[in-house]
Amino acid sequence: IPNATLEEKVKYLAQWVDSHVTDGDKVLKKPVLFTEIGSSAPGSHGLDAFLKIMYDKTYESAKKKLSGAGALIWQLMVEAMEECGDKFSLVPWEKPSTFELMVQQSCRLEAVNGWSNSSMIYNCSGA
């Protein structure tokens, strides 16, 4: 929906994710992994809005033991690799708000699954 507002795109994405999780639960009886999430818009605002929807939906699915298995950003990079990327690439520490969403999601899923964060770089106790 190229000419839609960000709000319209976010609303559409939320409905799209819900329908895919429902299909995974009721029709496919398999987990659904949402991949290649990105935004070509400049800045972090659009990406953060899309990523927040994806993360919130997969978190809610995880809490209920439903089929929303996870969400993967496209394309996660490290410094000095930007020449291998595209307009959807992300170096996390260059977009702190996006990076924070990623850390928060990791911490939320850790809590839902009862995992220990002893090997994580970031402490989830404050997230």
* Segment among 58-62, 64-68, 108-112, 122-126 with least mean pLDDT: 122-126
The chain-wide mean pLDDT, for the chain, equals 87
pLDDT digits (tens, 9 = 90+) for 43-92: 678 889 999 999 999 999 999 999 998 998 888 888 888 788 888 888 88
For residues 45 and 108, what is the distance between their CA atoms, to the nearest angstrom?
A: 22
pLDDT in the model for residue 117: 62
pLDDT in the model for residue 101: 93
pLDDT-derived band at 15 (thresholds 50, 70, 90) equals very high
For residues 85 and 26, what is the distance between their CA atoms, to the nearest angstrom?
A: 37
pLDDT in the model for residue 91: 87
pLDDT in the model for residue 93: 85
Radius of gyration of the chain (CA): 15
H helix runs in the chain, sequence order: 6-23, 45-63, 96-113
Handedness of CA 33, 38, 44, 45 (dihedral sign): negative
- 89 Cβ neighbours under 8 A, 6+ residues apart: 74, 75, 76, 77, 82
